[in-house]
Amino acid sequence: MRANVAGRLLQHYVDKSRSLPWRSPPGSPAPDPYRVWLSEVMLQQTTVAAVAPRFERFIARWPTVQALAAAPDEDVLGEWAGLGYYARARNLIACGREVAERGGFPDTEAELRKLPGVGDYTAAAIAAIAFGRRAVVIDSNVERVAARLQGLANPTKSQLREAVEAITPDERSGDFAQAMMDLGATICRPRSPLCADCPLRSDCAAFASGSPELFPKPKAKRRKPVRYGIARWIERDGTIWLVRRPSRGLLGGMAALPGPDWTDEKPEPREVLAQVRHVFTHFALELSIVRSDEAPGDGWWQPIRSLDQAGLPTLYRRAVDAVLSSGVKIAA
């Protein structure tokens, strides 16, 4: 089964592979490890559609890992703004500098896992795609494909790894890994899978069952707790006061409106200009934006007309937009 499944999937990849800016065409020389690593970091918890234009901006600005390593932290964090999960950006900086210092990326999973922010999946993906190593590459799309092939409603991680291990070929492992990702993203979708277009349907237990969407069973979602915060709107001559958040913690190192730490208790602030609700991985935040006069701590005056250049993460960009669209009079 292994050779048969792998062969059909690789041929499907040759015929139907997605053209993405970090990939090399099927069967061609492997892409630069820097491009593979950067794309894999960006794609964690973020869609291909959102990543593609941002990836190209990064590459245009920092075409090599050495260029990225030499960039100031605030420039990289600012360029990352809007992609979310900002610990990835801090790990990107640390990893890029370590790779530049050692003269390049290691080519084995074991050595790649030693780099900052590089976990099992990313190490396997880089080893397979950039260096042609046989590696078992498993992301959420691949998990779904494996669960359906085996007919596993409640699969364990070890079962999924065994299933992917069993069909991973010794050659062209990078193409195979990307073929599995593409299959899960475009055909073996969570809802309404396009089984008629799948090259593996004759080996798929979920397809044979007649109800492929039932595999694997969706995980129950937990209700997220709510936290509360206050952000201060401090304005002067067409500018607003921005600060940089502490380097550690949520949104670490990012530009922000000043304000106290977020709490579990709902405040009752005065002169609320606008409110926004933002959902993080583990909680939802209700942020009230209030007018203030005093510019606290270290920061800078950012012209309102050039806010796009400030590197604000989504939360604070939404907060600023809420104030600007609220009808509150803003000094020119």
38 domain-assigned: yes
List the CATH number of the domain containing 246.
3.90.79.10
Q: Same structural domain for residues 52 and 184?
A: yes
Task: Tell me what the mean pLDDT of segment 187-214 comes to.
Answer: 97
Percent of the chain with pLDDT over 70: 98
**Is residue 38 domain-shared with residue 96, that is, in the same domain?**
yes
Residue that is last in its domain, among 149, 184, 214: 214
Is there a domain that residue 263 lies in?
A: yes
Q: Specify whether 195 is located in the same domain as 305.
A: no
pLDDT at 1 over 60: no
Q: Do 94 and 192 lie in a common domain?
A: yes
Map tokens 């208790």 to a residue: 265
Q: How many CA atoms lie within 13 A of 195 on its CB side?
A: 18
CA distances from 229 to 83, 92, 118, 188 (A): 21, 28, 32, 41
Residue 220 lies in a domain: no
Boundary residue ending a domain (214, 247, 277) = 214
Q: Is 244 helix (H, G, I), strand (E, B) or coil?
A: strand
Q: What angle do CA 96, 98, 100 make, to 5 degrees?
A: 70
**Residues 250-283: tens digit of each pLDDT:** 999 999 999 999 999 999 998 899 999 999 999 9
Helical (H) or strand (E) element with 8: helix 2-16
Question: What stretches of 266-313 show up as alpha helix (H) in DSSP?
Answer: none
- Asked whether the predicted pLDDT for residue 332 surpasses 50, the reply is no
Supply the residues annotated as catalytic: 40
On the question of pLDDT at 3 being above 90, the answer is no
What pLDDT, on a 0 to 100 scale, did the predictor assign at position 178? 97
Domain match, 77 and 164 both: yes
Same domain, residue pair 138 and 92? yes
Domain extent for 44: 2-214
Residue 328 has pLDDT above 90, yes or no: no
Single residue among 180, 214, 248 that ends a domain in this structure: 214
- 253 in Cβ contact with 247 (< 8 Å): yes
Q: How far apart are CA 94 and CA 116, in angstroms?
A: 6
Does residue 332 belong to any structural domain of this protein?
no
Q: Is the pLDDT of residue 89 over 60?
A: yes
Convert the pLDDT of each residue in 298-323 to its tens digit.
999 999 999 999 999 999 999 999 99
* Chain segment 235-244, per-residue pLDDT in tens: 999 999 999 9
132 and 241 together in one domain: no
For residue 219, being part of any structural domain is answered with no
Looking at the structure of the chain, the number of domains it has is: 2
- What is residue 232's three-state secondary structure? strand
Residues 249, 175 share a domain: no
Chain position carrying tokens 């939404």 = 318
Do 304 and 172 sit in the same domain of this protein? no
200: CATH: 1.10.340.30
Return phi, psi of residue 60, to 5°: -65, -35
